[in-house]
């Protein structure tokens, strides 16, 4: 549902052999009470010993270290007090001593074995910085007016093609990087139809997308599927149509959806990070609004049921469009990218490194971050002021509809402090978030099945 891909991809940097982490205190590794946190690391190797270090999420320098208590069954107990923990997320990094071997051909001889897990402590009380610009709402109202004044200029690029249920299964495997049929009980239609469409874009170009819908005249609920980052082809959203939606999956950069190859566009090279209207995401956000304008213009849809879904950049865009477009009635956002920019900068500062989003940083000695007792400090550079107009956590506070989210706890691309900042800023009563412990920037079929049922309600 959320990581909709035409080409095979995985960026689950949490994948680690031989080590598994869990806690009897919390299945999802989110802790809210107790004097101590007790985590078990189990290995399938002959573990001789395990050392551990405790870090603020994504920060290299530890503030606590120790030796785990060995248990029967190749298990090790990591236990430490919660006294010094402020609400937020923390990483445990471990080094397992599994002995040595003379068998040089054995891959397990790459010892010692390193691993990590992430947990949350009272994350519902995590301090969130507020650098939202004073003119934030007015800025985006003006942007909406600009794109809404642009005629849709709809073009049906290809003829409608019919897909039976078996053909959908085949397409999912060959072209959408999905299991053949991973939610058979959720089917509402066994035959769907699909075509390529394009509409006018905010930059004089076109917005291309694959449309898929159940057979029939409708009206059908609307689903806008928003892509993750990168310049890639898009798959037809046939599975969503099989679940009853008139679905549109768009190529967010104005490129076609089925090119044989894609080039990195100049919009990311020549953008101006000192000027919000010249920053590349200004037009990207407007393209999403234009896609909604097209969908609600159709006569075969139910405009009271408009869902946006996406993962990573798609999760970001879903939060953004729901924050500026009151027509959206539900959001499913996973591994939401690019939120909580001030915290990102603070992590870079603590690690003493530069990053593309923090080019003004002067390299500093590494810090453990323990001096921070509240939200990270606000960055006051012109670049930071520009980024604040695009940070999804500031759109979240204007959302009026139900929101469902998922975050990978070991995700380094969309860190949990970033994803949970969006969730915390949501003011709606109907909201829910699931932690995916031990997993990073990746997809979950079980969550998809849950999300379709959630949307049905």
97, 125, 153: which is the final residue of a domain? 125
Based on the domain organization, do 382 and 440 belong to the same domain?
Answer: yes
Instruction: Let me know whether 121 and 191 are in one domain.
Output: no
85 & 213 share domain: no
Q: Is residue 131 part of a domain?
A: no
Query: Comparing 248 with 445, which gets the higher pLDDT?
Result: 248
Examine residue 69 and state whether it is found in any structural domain, yes or no.
yes
Total number of domains constituting the chain: 2
For residues 370-394, average pLDDT: 92
Q: What is the pLDDT of residue 355?
A: 60
Q: What is the mean pLDDT of the chain?
A: 91
Q: Would you say residue 256 lies in a domain?
A: yes
In this prediction, residue 108 carries a pLDDT of 52
Percentage of the chain exceeding pLDDT 70 = 90
Residues 165 and 103 in one domain: no
Does the structure show a pLDDT above 60 at 356? no
Q: Tell me, what's the pLDDT at 32?
A: 97
169 with 310, same domain: the answer is: yes
- Domain end marker among 125, 155, 184: 125
Structural domain span for residue 117: 19-125
Mark whether 101 and 165 lie in a shared domain: no
Confidence of residue 447 (pLDDT cuts 50, 70, 90): very high
Q: Is residue 337 part of a domain?
A: yes
The answer to whether residue 14 is domain-embedded is: no
Res. 264 pLDDT band, cuts 50 70 90: confident
Instruction: Give CA–CA dist 266/274, Å, rounded.
Output: 17
CATH (domain of 100): 2.60.40.2550
For residue 260, the model assigns a pLDDT of 86
Write out pLDDT tens, residues 110-141.
Answer: 567 899 999 999 999 999 999 999 999 999 99
Same domain, 312 and 405: yes
Both 405 and 384 in one domain: the answer is: yes
Could you tell me the CATH number of the domain that includes residue 222? 3.40.50.1820
Mean pLDDT for the stretch of residues 216-230:
95
Tell me the average pLDDT across 286-290: 98
Q: Which of the two residues, 345 and 79, has the higher pLDDT score?
A: 79
Residues 51 and 76 sit within 8 Å (Cβ to Cβ): no
Domain check: are 382 and 250 in the same one? yes
Residue at a domain's end among 69, 98, 125: 125
Q: For residues 73-96, give the mean pLDDT.
A: 96
pLDDT over 70 (residue 427): yes
Whether residues 359 and 420 share a domain: the answer is yes
Q: Is residue 203 part of a domain?
A: yes
Model pLDDT, residue 362? 56
Same domain membership, residue 209 and residue 187: yes
Would 116 be classed as within a structural domain? yes
Same domain, 338 and 443: yes
Of 23-27, 355-359, 363-367, 397-401, the range with the lowest mean pLDDT is: 355-359
On whether residue 356 sits in a domain, the answer given is yes
What is the pLDDT confidence band of residue 383, given thresholds at 50, 70 and 90?
confident
């Amino acid at each position: 549902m959320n990581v909709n891909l035409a080409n095979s991809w995985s960026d689950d940097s949490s994948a680690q052999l031989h080590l598994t982490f869990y806690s009897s205190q919390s299945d999802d590794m989110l802790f809210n009470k107790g004097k101590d946190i007790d985590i078990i690391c189990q290995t399938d190797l002959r573990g001789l010993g395990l050392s551990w270090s405790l870090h603020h999420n994504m920060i290299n320098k530890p503030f606590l270290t120790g030796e785990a208590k060995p248990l029967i069954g190749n298990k090790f107990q990591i236990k430490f007090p919660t006294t010094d923990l402020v609400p937020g997320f923390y990483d445990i990094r471990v080094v397992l001593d599994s002995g040595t071997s003379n068998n040089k051909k054995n891959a397990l001889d790459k010892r010692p074995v390193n691993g990590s897990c992430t947990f949350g402590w009272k994350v519902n009380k995590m301090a969130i910085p507020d650098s939202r610009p004073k003119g934030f709402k007015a800025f985006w109202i003006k942007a909406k007016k600009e794109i809404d004044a642009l005629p849709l200029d709809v073009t049906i690029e290809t003829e409608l093609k019919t897909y039976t249920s078996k053909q959908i299964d085949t397409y999912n495997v060959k072209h959408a990087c999905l299991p053949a049929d991973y939610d058979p009980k959720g089917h509402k239609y066994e035959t769907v139809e699909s075509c390529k469409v394009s509409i006018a874009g905010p930059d004089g170009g076109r917005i291309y997308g694959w449309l898929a819908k159940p057979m029939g005249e409708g009206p059908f609920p609307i689903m806008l599927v928003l892509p993750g980052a990168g310049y890639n082809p898009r798959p037809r959203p046939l599975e969503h149509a099989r679940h009853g939606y008139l679905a549109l999956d768009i190529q967010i950069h104005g490129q076609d959806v089925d090119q044989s190859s894609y080039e990195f566009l100049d919009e990311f090279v020549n953008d101006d990070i000192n000027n919000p209207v010249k920053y590349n995401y200004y037009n990207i956000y407007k393209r999403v609004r234009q896609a909604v304008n097209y969908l609600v213009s159709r006569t075969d849809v139910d405009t009271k049921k408009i869902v946006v879904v996406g993962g990573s950049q798609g999760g970001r865009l879903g939060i953004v469009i729901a924050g500026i477009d009151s027509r959206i009635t539900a959001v499913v956002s996973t591994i939401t990218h690019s939120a909580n920019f001030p915290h990102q900068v603070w992590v870079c500062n603590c690690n003493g490194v530069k990053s593309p989003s923090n080019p003004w940083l002067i390299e500093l000695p590494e810090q453990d971050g323990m001096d921070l007792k509240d939200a990270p400090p606000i960055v006051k550079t012109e670049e930071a002021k520009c980024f604040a107009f695009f940070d999804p956590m500031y759109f979240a506070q204007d959302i009026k509809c139900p929101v469902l989210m998922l975050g990978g706890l070991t995700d380094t691309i969309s860190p949990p402090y970033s994803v949970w900042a969006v969730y915390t800023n949501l003011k709606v009563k109907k909201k829910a978030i699931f932690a995916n412990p031990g997993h990073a920037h990746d997809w979950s079929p079980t969550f998809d099945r849950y999300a379709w049922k959630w949307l049905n309600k």
